[in-house]
Structures are given as C-alpha cells and as structure tokens.
C-alpha cells in the first residue's frame, strides 16, 4: 500500500494549522497535535471548486474548496506564518490537488473553476456603486473640475480591470 499524501497549512491568524491526508477512500483532517478531527468520504463530495484569489501580499494565491452536502474544506497554496507573512507551498499544494483529482475523477463530482458570473457581476456593481458614492461626496466637498477628471480616471480603471 502506498503512503497517503499529506498537505499541511494554516489559513489565517484565526485558525490553527491543519493536515489533510488523502487515503484510498477519504480525506482525513488532523489538528496541529495530530489528532483526527474530521473525515470526508470521496463518495460524499459534491463539488471541487478551484479559484485564484490574489491579494496584495500573495498575488498568486490559489484556493480549492471541497464541498459535501453539509461540510466544506478550503485549501490554499499559501500557509499563514504571521502578520503579512504568507509562505508559498505551491509544489506541495499542486501534488495534493493532482492526487485529489486522481482519487475523485471516477466519482460523480462537479468540478468548477473561477468565480460565478453572479459574484463577478455583484463585485462589478459594488465597484460602480462605490465610484458613484465617491463622486457624490466629492462634488459636495471639492472643485468640480478636478472631480470630473477623477471620475474619468475611475471609469478608465474600471474598464481596464474588467
């Protein structure tokens, strides 16, 4: 029997380090003192979603969300080491994700990538709303010519981003 593949990481300052072990039938989750705290049977997994979620600290942050009907595991390719200190674990993360795919590819699991269209549109609407709110506040406080220039620049940035 092959040794089970393990991926260990800490998501944030508010969580403890956890280890995720892929065995033949399930994912086992262990806490920082190696005590088993949960299991996910491959047969009960409904979806595996992959998304890139860059931040100022980690521009290449990838996240994998494994969902059943009532549980969720979130894995990231970085581990939290301290304030504004995320350590990349790309090689270990990639090995784990590839092995997870190998173990689950014959199951009836929905594989997803990216963010949902509704989430994307909600983020876009929020950005537009905040730009409009900035404009209203600025028109009441500052020189209208400078505000017009700022609004044109904001719209250009929005168009460039999306």
- Over residues 35-44, the pLDDT tens digits come to 999 898 888 9
Could you count the other beta carbons within 10 Å of the beta carbon of residue 76?
19
| pTM greater than 0.85 | no
The tokens for 11 are: 């998501």
DSSP-assigned letters across all residues of 69-124: SS-EEEEESEEEEETTEEEE-HHHHHHHHHHHHHHHTTS--EEEES--HHHHHHHH
Looking at residue 107, its pLDDT comes to: 80
Which pLDDT score is estimated for 28? Answer: 93
Average pLDDT, the chain: 81
Residue 1: per-residue pLDDT: 45
pLDDT of the residue at 161: 59
- Please write the tens of the pLDDT for every residue from 65-91: 998 888 899 998 888 888 878 877 889
Contacts of residue 111, Cβ cutoff 8 Å, sequence gap at least 6: 47, 48, 49, 50
Q: What is the per-residue pLDDT for 2? A: 55
Alpha carbons 86 and 59: distance in angstroms, whole number: 11
pLDDT at position 145 is 66
Residue ranges in the chain whose pLDDT is less than 70: 1-2, 54-55, 57-58, 114-117, 120, 138-148, 150-151, 157-162
């Amino acid at each position: 029997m092959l040794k089970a593949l393990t991926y260990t990481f800490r998501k944030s300052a508010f969580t403890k380090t956890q280890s995720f072990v892929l065995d033949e039938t399930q994912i086992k989750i262990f806490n920082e003192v190696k005590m088993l705290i949960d299991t996910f049977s491959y047969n009960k997994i409904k979806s595996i979603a992959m998304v890139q979620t860059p931040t100022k600290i980690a521009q290449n942050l990838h996240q994998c969300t494994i969902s059943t009907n009532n549980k969720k595991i979130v894995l990231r390719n970085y581990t939290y080491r301290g304030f504004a200190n995320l350590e990349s674990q790309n090689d270990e993360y990639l090995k784990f994700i590839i092995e997870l795919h190998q173990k689950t590819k014959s199951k009836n699991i929905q594989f997803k990538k990216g963010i949902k269209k509704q989430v994307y549109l909600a983020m876009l609407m929020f950005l537009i709303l905040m730009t409009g709110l900035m404009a209203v506040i600025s028109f009441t406080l500052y020189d209208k010519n400078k505000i017009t220039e700022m609004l044109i620049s904001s719209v250009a940035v929005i168009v460039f981003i999306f």
